[in-house]
Structure 1
Amino acid sequence: MQRGDFLEKVVAVVGPTAVGKSALGLKLAQKFNGEIISGDSMQIYRGLDIGTAKDSPEELSEVPHHLVDISDVTERYTVKDFQQKARRVVENLAENEKNSFVVGGTGFYLNSLIQNLNLGGKADGDNELRKELLKIEKNSGIDGLVKVLRDEDPLAMKTIDISNARRVIRAIEVHRETGKSIVDQNNGNQWAEFYLIGLTDDRDKLYARINSRVDKMVEMGLLDEVRPVYDNRDQIPQAKNGIGYKELFPYFEGTATLESCLDEIKKNSRHFAKRQLTYFRNQMDVDWYNISEEPDYQTKIENRIKGFLGGYNG
């Protein structure tokens, strides 16, 4: 939305899992009279706190957070839902002279907001096409869906996470509804100006942080959080597929040890971090900071934000 001759200004903090995005976002929002919009596809779910690495209740109370704890685990949540809700929050904050800080690692969610993607169709995707695609998934699994996507939208094959059935389904829907790839849906209508801050770290250090985070999650009670997800998995369409949840199902089934399941969480989290970095580097214009190589990165970032926001309300 454009007011006068100015576009809304939005700061986004991106990067791989466990790199420290949330901590930085919190500090920046406090310093620059801002509020946080979660750009994470799993933190929307109530009750999924440990496995999604939500900020603590104390941190959530320090700065207002949006798009956190807004859905039950039984509900579906789409990229279009995020796009619409996040834009509404940005505009409301601007009206109240507050700055918006989008924090999270779900790349396509953020890209849909920045590029103003025309995602087409209804947000809930409840139509005959969705039923057709769900039938393909039931009969042929994710491989069947990927085959359809490869035939119809090879461009999306190179960009989206094809291990995520919901993302594949949505890509097929958008292509059929609009005739264009889901990654080529720019409306040509810039509604906001974005400054993207990317945090990264040396690979070995990042992987060590990921492994340590998983161990800490277990200490915090991850198993107690995952158990009801496992028990009610037939009624949970999306949340059950999150990293940190699905890997523990074999433990509850008695077919794998806890140690092997935790190793799987760590491995999948490391692979996810790699995919995140690839996506952000290839798809977005990000100002990157290596937290190990640049000890004063926070000061540099704050100075850049001052220039970006101009006369922010401090």
Structure 2
Amino acid sequence: MNKVLFITGPTASGKTSLAIKIAKKFNGEIISADSRAIYRGIDIASAKPSLEERDGVIHWGFDIVNVGERFTAYDYQQYAYKKIEDILSRSKLPIVIGGTGLYIDSLLYNYQFSSEPNYELRDSLENKSLEYLVEYCNKNNINMPENKKNKRYIIRAIEKQGYKNNGRKDNDFTSIAVGITTDRSVLKDRIVKRNREFLKLGIIEETICLSNKFGWDNESMTANAYPLIRKYLDNEINLEKLIELMSIRDWQLAKRQITFMKRNKKIHWLQLEEAEAFIEKELS
């Protein structure tokens, strides 16, 4: 087969378990499309599946760079295409899974990126209002820094995602793209339960380790739950408030992910159970 399966959807929608199940049935290997999972050490906060959860399925796209190192959407695209080519060459099924919409789109539509900094764009962003930059991040699924009132920080977050022009060309493979849709109340419950599990797994200890190593001002420490855990460590909030705020932040992320990915007409949106049947039919 010359097919590549894409599974996307909001955080906590059940993408990982579905991808592993499909990979075991169809001799697949998984390529993560998560802009947080690329970092070494960001494990629990990025919901990387454990070795036990991976159940023998090979995973790519984890632990590519150190915290603080530059890694753009262009870098991800080039990395993922090489993995897709390698997996197909071994007559196996590449399964791209994740919630970073720009990563998914860059592969589905084969965006033509510039690998060099776009100074013209940077200058144009400098002239934009803070409100415009915040809206740009929301529309393009870009994680903003904790200090949302600092234009320089927001521009750096945008730059980190790489720059896309209008050029596209066809891929050499056939894409099957599925998005997992979930009832909002169910998704909210899953998010809360997952955050409670993150605490049991040691997300606070992970945060302390990373902050000691890289400092709180590192851009990677301004995303995920880390700023909220810092408030907990500083005794500004208690444990229950931490879970509440982490869940609110994840829900806001899920809404941004849904808004961004719903624009992609190549994605078939299905409930988790329906998605499995649809994928098996497309691959059979």
Q: Report how many aligned residue pairs link the two structures.
A: 272
Report how far residue 55 of structure 1 moved: 0.8
Matched, 1:55 2:20: no
Correspondence for 1:260? 241
Matched, 1:36 2:36: no
Aligned equivalents of 1:257 and 1:98: distance in 2?
48
Where in structure 2 are there 5+ consecutive unaligned residues?
A: 145-153
SS where residue 54 of structure 1 aligns? coil
Report how far residue 72 of structure 1 moved: 1.6
Aligned equivalents of 2:216 and 2:169: distance in 1?
39
Report how far residue 21 of structure 1 moved: 0.3
Change (3 A) 1:163 1:119: same
Aligned equivalents of 1:55 and 1:163: distance in 2?
21
Q: Is the 8 A contact 2:138 2:256 kept in 1?
A: no
Change (3 A) 1:46 1:145: farther
Where in structure 1 are there 5+ consecutive unaligned residues?
A: 1-5, 137-142, 175-181, 307-314
Cα deviation, 1:119-178, whole Å, max 9, x if unaligned, reads 2133xx4x9x49x77xx9xxxxxx968628949xx9x6773136523442357x73xxxx
Please identify runs of 4+ aligned residues in structure 1 that moved more than 4 A: 143-146, 148-151
Report how far residue 236 of structure 1 moved: 6.9
Q: Is the 8 A contact 1:34 1:100 kept in 2?
A: yes
Change (3 A) 1:87 1:238: farther
Correspondence for 1:147? 129
Percent of pairs with identical residues: 29
Correspondence for 2:76? 82
Aligned equivalents of 1:84 and 1:149: distance in 2?
32
Q: Is the 8 A contact 1:146 1:162 kept in 2?
A: no
Correspondence for 2:87? 93
Equivalent residue in structure 1 for 2:141, among 161, 167, 184: 161
Aligned equivalents of 1:287 and 1:58: distance in 2?
30
Q: What does 1:138-217 align with in structure 2 at a 5 Å threshold?
A: 147=129, 150=132, 159-161=139-141, 164=144, 165=154, 166-170=156-160, 174=163, 182=164, 184-217=165-198
Which amino acid is 1:67 matched to? G
Which amino acid is 1:168 matched to? I
Which amino acid is 2:129 matched to? K
Report how far residue 275 of structure 1 moved: 1.1
What root-mean-square deviation, in Å, do the aligned CA atoms of Structure 1 and Structure 2 show?
3.0
Q: Is the 8 A contact 1:145 1:169 kept in 2?
A: no
Structure label with greater radius of gyration: 1
Report how far residue 282 of structure 1 moved: 1.2
